[in-house]
Structure 1
Amino acid sequence: MRATIKDIAKISGVSTATVSRVLNELGGYRPEVATKVLAVAKELGYRRNDSAVSLVKQATRTIGIVMPTVATSFYAQIINGIEDRAYQAGYSVILTHAGVNNVRLQESLNFMVERRVEGIIGVSINLAQIDLQAIAALAVPLLLLSAQAPGNRLPYVKVDDYAAAYAATTDLIDHGHRTIALVGVDPADSVAGRPRIAGYTAALQAAGLRLDRNLIFPGDYTFEAGQRAMTTILATPELRPTAVFAVSDETALGVIAVCYQAGLRIPQDLSVLGYDNSAIASMVSPALSTVAQPFYEMGQLAADKLITGLQTNQPIQSQIVPFKLIHRGTVSSL
């Protein structure tokens, strides 16, 4: 037979109300009482009804993840980090997609509210002013991951994309490359796209190199964006960079795929540097040199910050996390 609160109260010598307060962490009891009640509960194999607890506390111990529908692989590491830390803290996680360009953002937010999530982590979501108004109306804490809100009006966890792009471009320059293409970047993306363009541009200027805007190939960070850019490069002999800085690992693989089809060798004929250090970066041959974002750790950090904010009712502080250049086999010196 399943143990009840009455059973625990009888053996512990306290009221059922006190047992309830201890099990639901509501306070109002002495530490020694809590120790005794919890020991008896463990001995009896008591399992609390979390649904009932949520109704009493008006809390679901659930956090939501909202992310765009984008065909890139790094999201898995972020979600794993969020889920692992959330589950360790006794929270469950639900996931929804806001769609490309946030076409379903309001629908996703409404879904989260209907599920009574306590907080939301928005992954790689570009927010406009009108989105901020909708979020403010929810009265649910929202933390951005790999994104920033206009005016930094929401807390965030992210890499400094400008600094990372500057470091990546400088690394290629240090390897002797002077004609470097930037591939797959979205110029309309104020969170990652524009800072990466700015970092790339600043690194060229700092090295005294001319910026050729024909070498900046717009895209959506996907494999196909890399394919399209490299196909254009091969069809335009006057461009012919000696190196490509791709703004995602999948974009870099798109570049490499077209090179192989054209008989070009990596890195002998073209150096390629990616961005993300997603799982696929080390699976290809040669393994991809890239800018590493600590996605799993970023997911953990975001979950920690959100849950701590929920439990303490304190403002969530933003944090820039470090990136690292990973040198593998797709970049060589001239």
Structure 2
Amino acid sequence: MPYTIKDVAKKANVSIATVSRILNNQTGFSEKTKKKVLQVIEELGYHPNAVARGLVNKRTHTIGVLVPALSSMFVTGVLSGIEKAANEAGSSIIVCHTESKGGKTMNYLQLLNEKRIDGIIFTSEILKDEYYEFISKMGIPMVLLATKSPKHSVPYVKVDDLRAAYTATEYLLKKGHTKIGMISGDEQDIIAGIPRIEGFKNALEDYGITADDNNIVTSRGFGFFDGVEGSKKLLQQSPDITAIFAASDEIAIGALSSAYQMGIKVPDELSIMGYDNLSLAEMSIPPLTTVAQPLVEMGEKAAKMVFTMLDSDQQVESIIMPHEVVERVSVKEKR
């Protein structure tokens, strides 16, 4: 049976309140008493109850992270950064898999409220009014990650999706490709769908190429099978394209798989470029050229913003993270 704070106080011959003050770095005791209590704690192997300590200092040292898909390698990347920053701050995280479902998200928010978490990182989807209002009533810091809210003033960490998609398309254009197709996610998605499509179109237009709707295929999501089916549809609609810009690495890997099944050689006959720079991009055959988001750093920044808001009780500035093209071998210069 584990020892309690009462056992520590009894053996050290001090009050429970004195032990509590020592554990919470408060004043009201001598150095001799502190040394004695700490020695007893070590002898008994006493571990303070985190929940009980949270009631004293009004912090539970946990933050909630809401993610739409646990299986996504994108989410794995940002979670690594969040966990790293939380661990360094002496906190832990509770990850909630929402599946982008309203009811499930609200259930998780209720759970996080009951857990008295210190803050929330809301990831990769639209911050609906009902979510915002509930979290506002919780009275805790919130940071958006890989998303932003056009309606609510909430700090965020993300790349400029329009600009990053423009950069990816411009890279293909500079490689000599003029007949370029795009496989996107949901065209109604204001977070990653619309901006990346607009970036693609803007780059083509700036290079004097009319954006043809037949050269853009939209999917329900940003996964592997969206890329498999999307690439087949795109090549049926526009068989003369020489390059594909995929709105995620998972879509791009699906397009690589589809090209292999159809006997199309990448990059000799068709160049494919991704978006994200997941670890999967380096492992694919051929290794995928992509525009990188600094996923781990993004997660780390978001968590540190939450802790800054907790410690200073002030709002923080949103952060636009840099993106860059990572060249591998899935894109070939068009001669």
| CA pair 218-332 structure 1, distance change in 2 beyond 3 A | same
Where does residue 268 of structure 2 map in the other structure?
A: 268
Contact 1:72 1:221 survives alignment (8 Å): no
Q: Mapping of 1:309-324 within 5 angstroms?
A: 309-324=309-324
Pairs aligned (count):
327
- Which stretches in structure 1 are left out of the alignment for 5+ residues? none
CA distance, structure 2, for counterparts of residue 180 and residue 118 of structure 1: 47
| CA pair 47-187 structure 1, distance change in 2 beyond 3 A | same
| CA pair 36-162 structure 1, distance change in 2 beyond 3 A | farther
Q: Mapping of 1:221-240 within 5 angstroms?
A: 221-236=222-237, 238-240=238-240
SS in 2 for 1:96: strand
The CA deviation string for residues 108-144 of structure 1, in whole angstroms up to 9 with x for no partner, is 2112112211111111021233432233233232211
Contact 1:290 1:326 survives alignment (8 Å): yes
Contact 1:8 1:37 survives alignment (8 Å): no
The CA deviation string for residues 159-192 of structure 1, in whole angstroms up to 9 with x for no partner, is 1111101111100000001111110322111111
Task: Supply the AA of the counterpart residue of 1:227.
Answer: V
Where does residue 92 of structure 1 map in the other structure?
A: 92
Q: Mapping of 1:108-123 within 5 angstroms?
A: 108-123=108-123
CA shift, 1:207, in A, is: 0.8
CA distance, structure 2, for counterparts of residue 314 and residue 159 of structure 1: 23
Task: Supply the AA of the counterpart residue of 2:185.
Answer: V
User: What is the aligned-residue RMSD (CA, Å)?
Assistant: 2.7
What is the TM-score normalised by the length of structure 2?
0.88
Q: Mapping of 1:233-248 within 5 angstroms?
A: 233-236=234-237, 238-248=238-248
Where does residue 138 of structure 1 map in the other structure?
A: 138
CA shift, 1:15, in A, is: 8.0
| CA pair 49-132 structure 1, distance change in 2 beyond 3 A | closer
The CA deviation string for residues 52-100 of structure 1, in whole angstroms up to 9 with x for no partner, is 2123233321111111137532111211211122122111211112223
Where does residue 80 of structure 2 map in the other structure?
A: 80
Q: Mapping of 1:63-74 within 5 angstroms?
A: 63-69=63-69, 71-74=71-74
% of aligned pairs identical?
36
Contact 1:187 1:218 survives alignment (8 Å): yes
Where does residue 38 of structure 2 map in the other structure?
A: 41
Contact 2:166 2:200 survives alignment (8 Å): yes
Contact 2:243 2:270 survives alignment (8 Å): yes
Task: Supply the AA of the counterpart residue of 1:245.
Answer: F
CA distance, structure 1, for counterparts of residue 185 and residue 109 of structure 2: 27
Contact 2:70 2:76 survives alignment (8 Å): no
Q: Mapping of 1:49-198 within 5 angstroms?
A: 49-69=49-69, 71-198=71-198
- Which stretches in structure 2 are left out of the alignment for 5+ residues? none
CA shift, 1:150, in A, is: 2.4
Q: Mapping of 1:9-24 within 5 angstroms?
A: 17=17, 20-24=20-24
SS in 2 for 1:265: coil
What is the TM-score normalised by the length of structure 1?
0.88
Contact 1:98 1:104 survives alignment (8 Å): yes
CA shift, 1:330, in A, is: 0.2
CA distance, structure 2, for counterparts of residue 306 and residue 68 of structure 1: 20
Question: Is structure 2 residue 253 aligned with structure 1 residue 256?
Answer: no
CA distance, structure 1, for counterparts of residue 76 and residue 70 of structure 2: 12
CA shift, 1:320, in A, is: 1.0
